[in-house]
Amino acid sequence: MGKLIIVPTPVGNLEDITLRAINVLKNCDLILAEDTRTSGKLLKHLEIDTPKRSYHLHNEHKIVEQLVNELSHTDLTFALVSDAGTPAISDPGFLLVRACIENEIEVETLPGATAFVPALVNSGLPCDRFVFEGFLPHKKGRKKRIEALAEETKTMIFYESPYRVVKALKEFAAIFGEERKCSVSREITKLYEETIRGTLTEVRIHFEKKAPKGEFVIIVEGK
């Protein structure tokens, strides 16, 4: 019986890779990568030449059974990585982890980089209890999803693209109230990392004046 290891990779700064992650990627039999080109750059930087295979949002339903079959009938070790951060957190991975568990294949998950933890701690908002909402739907169900959080008392965490940051802040203000506190972090661990704090209205005005660029984490105070 084989083994699946979930390996977080840096969300920006390559120095955030752990020694344990490097060791796993060097010594596993196969690396399952969300984008082999993106992961290839990291692996080249680390001087790792382990074979790679694509495992992404558009093929995971098709190949999960195949991967489980391989792991069930061999003693191979597969490592799963996403383009950045921890697989299965707003990235492919959940289906494979669940299938492996259902088939009694050992799954090990390494601790490591993920964007929302530093954004949450850096926000200055309560981080003892929080809810992670990830990406909101682009259109259908978006408003309903936000309305369902109207009475949420815990700090809320959202991922958003630069094209919808202002829209999201407007929607949050309409449902949570314009004076609700928030913190918006972009480009976590990267050269142009930035965190803007204030009310939903204040932060929205900031990004209306300064066009949003990069990848965003929005932290919103609970009710």
Q: Encoding tokens for residue 6?
A: 């979930």
Q: Which CATH class is domain 3-109?
A: alpha beta
- Kindly give the parts of the chain with pLDDT less than 50: none
Same CATH fold, 116-220 and 3-109?
Answer: no
Query: Rounded to an integer, what distance in angstroms lies between the CA atom of residue 186 and that of residue 145?
Result: 23
pLDDT for the residue numbered 207 = 97
pLDDT for the residue numbered 139 = 87
Q: Mapping DSSP to helix (H, G, I), strand (E, B) and coil, where does residue 162 land? A: coil
Cα angle: 133, vertex 184, 210; to 5 degrees = 130
Return the H-helix or E-strand segment holding 71.
helix 60-72
pLDDT for the residue numbered 57 = 85
Percent of the chain's residues with pLDDT above 70: 100
Q: Are 78 and 2 in contact (CB under 8 A)?
A: yes
Find the largest Cα–Cα distance for the chain.
58
Burial class (CB in 10 A: 0-12, 13-18, 19+), 83: middle
CATH for 116-220, among 3.30.950.10, 3.40.50.300, 3.30.2310.20, 1.10.1200.10? Answer: 3.30.950.10
pLDDT for the residue numbered 202 = 98
The count of residues in the chain is 223
Domain limits, the chain: 3-109, 116-220
> What pairs with residue 159 in β-bridges?
135, 217
Residue whose token pair is 């009938």: 73
